Amino acid sequence: MDKKSPATNKYAVPALDKGLDILEYMVSQELPKSQTEIATALARGANEIYRVLVGLEARGYLIRDEVSGKYRASLKIYNLSRRISPIDKMRQCALPHMEDLAFSSGHSCHLSMLYQSQAMVIVHAQSHDPVSINIAEGSLFPTSANASGRVLLANSKPDVQAMILERDQHYQQMKAAQRKLFIQQLALIKQNGTYSAANELTKGVYESAVLVGEPEGLVIASLAITTLNSTAIDELSASSELISRAQATAKQITQQLGC
């Protein structure tokens, strides 16, 4: 909901807004921040956020260094987020199968779900090979700009798909003819259940993604295998063997989830 909408203003809770603004800012920072730095980043007065900082520290969401006086986010938010269903259930079901896939294929893989109209990586299984790709859990990507996102888009309900594309800057920047081709591509992805292509955001990375769950289901995810270039894919019978392995893994995860 837009911050300026009447509903938001009517039911606004200033102290809560300050607390959420601080938390959202702090979890994105690698280094501890002082009260003044936090206030400046949020365009608020230092005195205005003092009591909120004290409250967040008391509740364990922030940790304050006794020497520097600077704050950093604790792991409490992360621990709370892991209790959220269906993400936690998906993680528990998927990880063992994904680790087997990473070992048997020799390539890293990751599982993504829709979050705030983007594709969020919720599980990553690292390859045992000396050189492989690591995608951090929690990373967010435009749905239209990578293989995982396109599989999720293609298999979402029509109204959800339309809403996501409305908010997707990468899609909004396309010309009318490009959008038409893109929608046609989504229909083909839904029909095939898979999508393979070079990553549009990172040069030299190739992805093969498959659906976890049922098309337009209540819980869907995208399982993707990433390689450093298409040469590795060619060695696996033009990616067919790699996709087959990913599909078999996706089926195992789906069955265990009971989707």
User: What average pLDDT score do residues 182-207 get?
Assistant: 87
Q: Does residue 203 or residue 103 have the better pLDDT?
A: 103
Q: Does the pLDDT of residue 1 top 70, yes or no?
A: no
Q: What is the C-alpha to C-alpha distance for residues 79 and 56, in angstroms, rounded to an integer? A: 16
* Nearest residue to 216 (alpha-carbon basis) of 145, 160, 147, 140: 160
The amino acid that residue 96 corresponds to is P
**First-to-last C-alpha distance (Å) of the chain:** 30
pTM over 0.85: no
Q: Does the pLDDT of residue 47 top 90, yes or no?
A: yes
Between strands 221-227 and 206-212, the pairing is antiparallel
3-state secondary structure at position 153: helix
Q: What does the block give as tokens for 68?
A: 């520097």
**pLDDT of the residue at 238:** 41
Q: What does the block give as tokens for 226?
A: 């990433």
**pLDDT of the residue at 197:** 84
**pLDDT of the residue at 7:** 44
**pLDDT of the residue at 201:** 73
pLDDT tens digits for 106-146?
889 999 999 889 999 999 999 887 777 888 898 999 999 88
**pLDDT of the residue at 88:** 79
Q: Does residue 70 or residue 128 have the better pLDDT?
A: 70
**pLDDT of the residue at 204:** 76
Contact 133, 146 (CB under 8 A): no
* Nearest residue to 222 (alpha-carbon basis) of 139, 154, 132: 154
**pLDDT of the residue at 2:** 43
Contact 90, 122 (CB under 8 A): yes
Tell me what the pLDDT averaged over the chain comes to.
87
pLDDT band at 9 (very low <50, low <70, confident <90, very high): low
Q: What is the C-alpha to C-alpha distance for residues 38 and 178, in angstroms, rounded to an integer? A: 42
Q: Does residue 13 or residue 4 have the better pLDDT?
A: 13
Q: Does the pLDDT of residue 200 top 50, yes or no?
A: yes
pLDDT band at 84 (very low <50, low <70, confident <90, very high): low
pLDDT tens digits for 203-258?
778 889 999 999 988 889 999 998 876 554 444 434 688 889 999 999 999 998 87
The amino acid that residue 245 corresponds to is R
